[in-house]
Structure 1
Amino acid sequence: MKQFFKFVLATVVGIILSTIIIVLVVAGLIAGAASSDKTTQVDANSILHIEIKYPISERTPNNPLANLNFLGLDGDKSVGLKDILANIKKAKTDSNIKGILLDESYMLSGQATTEEIRNALIDFKKSGKFIIAYAEVYTKGFYYLASVADKVYINPKGVFEFDGFSSQTMFFKGALDKLGIEAQVIRVGTFKSAVEPMILTKMSDANKLQVSSYLNSLYDHYLTGISKARGINKDSLFNYANQARVQQPEDALKLKLVDGLKYRDELLAEVKTKLGIKEKTDINSVEISEYTKANNDADTKDVSTNRIAVVYASGEIAGGEGDDNSIGSETTAKALRKVRTDDKIKAVVLRVNSPGGSSLASDVIWREVMLTKKVKPIIVSMGDVAASGGYYISCAADSIIAEPNTITGSIGIFAILPNMQKLFNDKLGITFDGVKTGQYADLGNTSRPLTPAERQILQNQINHGYDDFTKAVADGRHKTQAYINSIGQGRVWTGEQAIKIGLVDRLGNIDDAVKSAAKMAKLKNYRTVAYPEQKSVLNKLGESFSIQMKTRMLKSELGENYPVYEQIKNITSIMRTPLARMEYDVVIK
């Protein structure tokens, strides 16, 4: 009986706790929704405060709990690139905004994203308003952004990173060998290096050649931008980095990389001077995350019925449904079909930010781009990366626009099938036996190695996939298939390099792509609409809650090993189906 009451009490407590949690979630949802609809009031004589310490997605997440902090979950106030650019543009004509304070930012996203924000800041300066940059630690990415500011300041005891670019790959072959797992690779492309971490212990000569090529191209663009902004000879900048001339903040000041050494109170005093306010008066500022909801009298609402659709394709490509951070072939194809058949939509911009993924899913999306092209103009705008499958879905467009530091190309295809016989037999003592009705009925069985005949079957499939890929690119780019094969082979290029070999038409940002689409559609008045539609508040709430809880527990358990877990996850996903994908991640430090 005692045990019975114990179980009853536990059940009652569980119901009460569940009810409390549900009430808190619903209350949070209502409060978040109400908060998200509230207009931000911008006071006169204000500054726009930009501090970015999160990975920048293409669009601001539709998170109803962004302004809340409860149940141990921090509100996600991250702002997508679309809104960051729009807010800087709005601030340019907002009479209440007198300048921008660029505060210490990590710039965790790719270089093309930083480039777009940097160009928006350069345009902002045309208004005559000031930009001041400040940090205790200048990473290479943030300094590139901050270099366009009127004044660049660093904390007197701060850190200034200026030592060149490097790229490092983690190799797993030794770990797989110890586990008794053989990665059986079938690929086309000398430079298709995504498989190398599982079959080599260091970079191949071909991969070193391509990484060196695009890394130097990215670095040259980086130095050119800083040289122009700071008025320092590019060769001098190269030597400063190569010789490790910047070791202390005083070195950065001496070499004119920064304009002064200031503590934050000194920085704020200068901002007050710029605004013309007294020392004891508070600075009016608005966070970029809040400025999205601010009205601007200078804005004009375009009521034109003509529309240009911007279809966002961001993340790894896979079959099925996608979200803000992944490209689902079903979701993206549906969005393209919708804009293709909507008579109010006169042109389409496909915004691609993807390293690729499933070759089948890529082909499904490519087909929809082809069909769209037949009825209305479609322009591709490339973000940080549009490579492999990301290039596949782009190649059929009327025109391709990329940033100079976009990573693209990687025209190739591969598959990996793990042979875990030694793991099962030698490590675990597990053996297998069975029967089959045909010679190849168990093709793909991971408990044994592939036979030569089976390997040839898979190689033929991969060859066929590569032939389809290069033909699609050749047709889309009006080149011969032989030429595309010569610049393909899985090789990665930057946007600047891609123009020279015909994979990209011109350099520019997403705004340039919209203008190009409008020109092709012969539109003077239009408005843009975004697709696919972001998930509903309730769906987002469920995802946000479960993902944050899972991520938080994993990070707590794994600590500094969490990035290794992410890499292993990538390997697991690769060992499934033929992929049109580049390296796991191009990490530049």
Structure 2
Amino acid sequence: MEFLSSYGLFLAKSATAVVAIALVIGLIASVSQRNKKQAEGHIEIERLHERFEDWEDLMQFHLHDEASYKKMHKEKKKTAKREKKGKGEAAAGRKRLFVVDFDGDIQASDVELLRHEISAILTVATPDDEVLLRLESPGGMVHSYGLAASQLQRIRDKDVQLTIAIDRVAASGGYMMACIGNKLLAAPFAVIGSIGVVAQLPNFHRLLKKHEVDVELHTAGEFKRTLTMIGENTDEGRKKFIEELEETHILFKEFVKENRPQLNIEEIATGEVWYGRRALEKSLVDAIQTSDDYLLSRRADSDIFQVKYRLKKSIAERVGVATQGAVDRGTTALLGRLRESRFFQ
């Protein structure tokens, strides 16, 4: 009886603690949700050319004997000091390359970060500078990727060189973004293209009808609703839906053709995709090269800055991590007490 009493008291305390923690998390989440629109982030900048220099120095240190390394390091410091002091040709001739990343999903969610990164770059960029976008996207919603492409157009409108590097995939909406670039690079087996439009949706009308479920749909306007998931679709609705798809496809082709006039748009706007090498043959890209090789090729004459916009974590997210740790520790302690009481034996 004494054991059961102690055990019950322990469970009561544990339950009270868990409930209290849950209430606190719920309150914080509620406040965080109300203030979500006010959440801000900050710009982070990393000097990639210095990272490459550190890697080079580390490799040289391990590949050479101590005397050779010291001599090499001494000469390098002299050269750097001479350039800094005299601002010679090597120092004066260095350009600036800004690097941003876009990892696209169906909603092009990263456009919210991209717009801040581009705004930050354009506060200092000049026509002598260059922006490299490392783009990855299988495509998605037309309006979302249209906005993403418009963000890139801001760079072109400022006469700043825009290079797009595709290491894995830039298809459909991803290629809509890519074609804005002055220069397009692709890895040999990157997936490029898919200049087409697709839409599909299930229809449960027959299933609902079988179970005698009626669905009423009222619209004002002949084509306010063309196809529906739960109502009965009509031939007129299907025809209008297809017309809208075709019109979107025409706009897509016109957009690509305006930005890459060298393309045979009717040949490549079939919804097909091509790997990098074949894409080069069809002028979908300008060169076969990975983003890593391009950055290394530019380090000799450019200062390279990676620009990232980081969203601040909400209070709920920060507290959630700490709370999870507390719950884990509490669970471990409970199991330990149970083992000590031979409850599991």
TM (normalized to structure 2)?
0.64
SS at match of 1:94: helix
Alignment of 1:476-555 (within 5 A): 476-479=259-262, 483-514=264-295, 524-531=301-308, 533-536=309-312, 541=317
CA pair 466-89 structure 1, distance change in 2 beyond 3 A: farther
The one of 57, 71, 76 equivalent to 1:93 is 57
The one of 7, 13, 17 equivalent to 1:13 is 17
What amino acid maps onto 1:534 in structure 2?
R
What amino acid maps onto 1:530 in structure 2?
V
In structure 1, distance between residues paired with 2:291 and 2:96: 16
Contact 1:310 1:350 in 2 (8 A): yes
1:312 aligns with 2:101: yes
Unpaired runs of 5+ in structure 2? 1-11, 26-46, 66-72, 85-90, 325-345
In structure 2, distance between residues paired with 1:493 and 1:128: 44
Shift of 1:526: 2.0
What amino acid maps onto 2:236 in structure 1?
A
Shift of 1:339: 2.1
In structure 1, distance between residues paired with 2:18 and 2:59: 55
1:351 aligns with 2:145: no
CA pair 459-128 structure 1, distance change in 2 beyond 3 A: farther
Alignment of 1:246-325 (within 5 A): 307-318=96-107, 322=109
Q: Could you say which residue in structure 1 is the equivalent of 2:197?
A: 413
Contact 1:385 1:406 in 2 (8 A): yes
CA pair 544-383 structure 1, distance change in 2 beyond 3 A: farther
Shift of 1:445: 2.6
Shift of 1:97: 6.8
Shift of 1:528: 1.4
Alignment of 1:337-416 (within 5 A): 337-343=119-125, 346-375=129-158, 376-416=160-200
In structure 1, distance between residues paired with 2:320 and 2:270: 39
Q: Could you say which residue in structure 2 is the equivalent of 1:335?
A: 117
What amino acid maps onto 1:331 in structure 2?
L
What amino acid maps onto 1:526 in structure 2?
D
CA pair 446-534 structure 1, distance change in 2 beyond 3 A: same
RMSD: 4.5
Contact 2:189 2:276 in 1 (8 A): yes
Q: Deviations over 1:42-92 (max 9, x none)?
A: xxxxxxxxxxxxxxxxxxxxxxxxxxxxxxxxxxxxxxxx99x99898545
Q: Deviations over 1:188-211 (max 9, x none)?
A: xxxxxxxxxxxxxxxxxxxxxxxx
Contact 1:309 1:349 in 2 (8 A): yes
In structure 2, distance between residues paired with 1:351 and 1:438: 44
Higher CA-based Rg:
2
Shift of 1:348: 0.7
Contact 1:315 1:354 in 2 (8 A): yes
Q: Deviations over 1:337-366 (max 9, x none)?
A: 432343379221111011111111111121
Percent identity at matched positions? 20
In structure 2, distance between residues paired with 1:417 and 1:534: 35
Shift of 1:504: 0.7
SS at match of 2:245: helix
Shift of 1:315: 3.0
In structure 2, distance between residues paired with 1:444 and 1:19: 44
What amino acid maps onto 2:17 in structure 1?
V
Q: Could you say which residue in structure 1 is the equivalent of 2:249?
A: 466
CA pair 397-448 structure 1, distance change in 2 beyond 3 A: same
Q: Could you say which residue in structure 2 is the equivalent of 1:238?
A: none
Contact 2:138 2:172 in 1 (8 A): yes
What amino acid maps onto 1:378 in structure 2?
L
In structure 2, distance between residues paired with 1:392 and 1:543: 40
Contact 1:379 1:401 in 2 (8 A): yes
CA pair 419-348 structure 1, distance change in 2 beyond 3 A: same
In structure 1, distance between residues paired with 2:273 and 2:217: 44
Contact 2:223 2:240 in 1 (8 A): no
Contact 2:98 2:305 in 1 (8 A): yes
Could you say which structure has the greater relative contact order, defined with CA pairs below 8 angstroms and 6 or more residues apart?
2
Shift of 1:432: 1.4
SS at match of 2:188: coil
Contact 1:409 1:490 in 2 (8 A): yes
Unpaired runs of 5+ in structure 1? 1-7, 22-81, 99-126, 130-295, 549-589
Shift of 1:333: 3.2
CA pair 347-418 structure 1, distance change in 2 beyond 3 A: same
Shift of 1:444: 3.8
Shift of 1:332: 2.2
In structure 1, distance between residues paired with 2:218 and 2:232: 17
Contact 2:135 2:165 in 1 (8 A): yes
SS at match of 2:155: helix
TM (normalized to structure 1)?
0.39
In structure 1, distance between residues paired with 2:255 and 2:319: 36
Shift of 1:534: 2.7
SS at match of 1:489: coil
In structure 1, distance between residues paired with 2:267 and 2:173: 18
Contact 1:307 1:529 in 2 (8 A): no
CA pair 363-540 structure 1, distance change in 2 beyond 3 A: farther
In structure 2, distance between residues paired with 1:538 and 1:435: 42
Shift of 1:411: 1.2
CA pair 465-433 structure 1, distance change in 2 beyond 3 A: closer
CA pair 90-19 structure 1, distance change in 2 beyond 3 A: farther
Contact 2:164 2:181 in 1 (8 A): yes
Contact 1:337 1:372 in 2 (8 A): no
1:450 aligns with 2:226: no
